[in-house]
Amino acid sequence: MSFAQSDVRNLVLVGAASRREFSTLVSSLRQNSATRIVGHFKNVAAALEDWGSLAAEPDMTVVLQSWSDESAQPDVNQLIGKTLFQRLLCCVGPWCESDGRNRDVWPDALRVSVRLAESVIADQLHDINCGHPPIPPTSARDEVFAHRMAATPDGRDLSRLQDMNGAVIGPDRVFRKTICSTLRDYGLRSVHLPLITSCQRIVPRETSRGPVHLVFHDLDPWDELTEFSLTAARRMFPSATLLGIASMPDAGISSQLDDAEIDVVVPKLDFENGLRRHLKRWLESNRQERVQSFT
């Protein structure tokens, strides 16, 4: 999808963008054709000191917090004041997700876990394009929750899924059926299977409607059985795109998946928004590949 110049939003990054826990988020921001990074500072204090050096006025500032109390309260307050009529988010890594319980350096309205950040940033960019005002930094937690759940997805974006098939694999039957129900709302017809634990010969499979295009594999709990099933699923559906579903995709499971040939991991706490985002990205990538194959 191409964007008019006026639709490209200016972003400022603050923090250690090279740290592993932020790599997926930072990569998505840099590759997003709807965003342009106009400045990057190592911390909030440096951002305040050199704010005037930015290439352009930012529409959104994204702070990457690696540990609790990384930024001093006066600096945070000053940055909030400087970006009061723009967007400001502090994306916290896994080591400081509980900050809201015993620390209040960053208001709830501006703080988000890095594993949920892509969805929240996408919603914020959508709000900017629609002319919606930012949520006030003083908003209470229930107001923040309601604001982030208010986005109404456009089903037309996923209409091409109606011609495809999916498979949901995992140990919990109720969870598998819940995922199938969500996918059915998107138009994707899916079968659901328990973990593949048999050592018998595994051969490629199709549904009665044809090949499986997308496989959704539950990664919790991560153990030898789940790892074996994931490998077997790749062999059973060799041409399918494989998506994992995990409670904590940015924790230790990331290193376990290095050799798993898995395409993406969707957080369970952000399943619907995260899934929609990855499916839209996958459909767009497929469309571009088809266009290129005919040129």
Query: How much is the pLDDT for 144?
Result: 86
Q: What pLDDT, on a 0 to 100 scale, did the predictor assign at position 175?
A: 94
**Maximum average pLDDT range among 40-44, 119-123, 152-156, 179-183:** 40-44
pLDDT tens figures, 32-88: 888 999 999 999 999 999 999 998 999 999 999 999 999 999 999 999 999 999 999
pLDDT at position 5 is: 47
Cα–Cα distance measured from residue 273 to residue 295, given in angstroms and rounded to the nearest whole number? 33
- Predicted local confidence at residue 3, as pLDDT: 40
Tell me which H or E stretch contains 5: none
Q: Tokens 């400087």, residue? A: 82
Position 1 confidence tier, pLDDT thresholds 50, 70, 90: very low
DSSP 95-131: GGTTHHHH--SS-GGGEEEHHHHHHHHHHHHHHHHHT
Identify the structural domains of the chain with CATH numbers, from first to last. 5-148 (3.40.50.2300), 155-293 (3.40.50.2300)
Average pLDDT, the chain: 85
Q: What is the pLDDT at residue 63?
A: 98
- Name which residue leads in pLDDT, 35 or 206: 35
- In this prediction, residue 156 carries a pLDDT of 58
Question: Measuring CA to CA, how many Å separate 225 from each of 191, 211, 216, 230, 263?
Answer: 20, 25, 16, 9, 20
* Helix 23-31 × helix 114-130 angle, to 10°: 30
Q: What is the pLDDT of residues 77-115, one digit of tens each?
A: 999 999 999 999 999 987 887 787 778 899 999 999 887
Q: What is the model's pLDDT at position 201?
A: 65
245-259 confidence digits (pLDDT tens): 988 766 556 656 666
DSSP state at residue 134: P
pLDDT surpassing 90 at residue 193? yes
Greater model confidence, 119 or 36: 36
Predicted confidence at residue 274, as pLDDT, reads 78
- Cα–Cα distance measured from residue 12 to residue 31, given in angstroms and rounded to the nearest whole number: 14
Per-residue confidence band for 277, with pLDDT thresholds at 50, 70 and 90? confident
For residues 125-137, average pLDDT: 90
Torsion of CA 5, 9, 15, 17, to 10 degrees: -50
Helix (H) or strand (E) holding 189: strand 189-193
Total count of residues recorded for the chain:
295
Q: How far apart are CA 49 and CA 37, in angstroms?
A: 18
What residues pair up with 190 in beta bridges, in sequence order? 166
Handedness of CA 191, 241, 270, 219 (dihedral sign): positive
Q: Is the pTM of this model over 0.75?
A: no
Cross-strand pairs, 65: 92
Q: In the prediction, which pLDDT does 51 show?
A: 95
Residue 221 burial (10 A CB sphere; 0-12, 13-18, 19+): exposed
Q: Is 53 helix (H, G, I), strand (E, B) or coil?
A: helix
Assess whether pLDDT exceeds 80 at residue 203. Answer: no
pLDDT at 59: 96
Query: What three-state secondary structure class fits 91?
Result: strand
Question: Given a cut of 90, is residue 212 above it in pLDDT?
Answer: yes
Per the model's pLDDT, the better-predicted residue between 98 and 287 turns out to be 98
pLDDT at 292 over 60: no
What pLDDT, on a 0 to 100 scale, did the predictor assign at position 282? Answer: 85
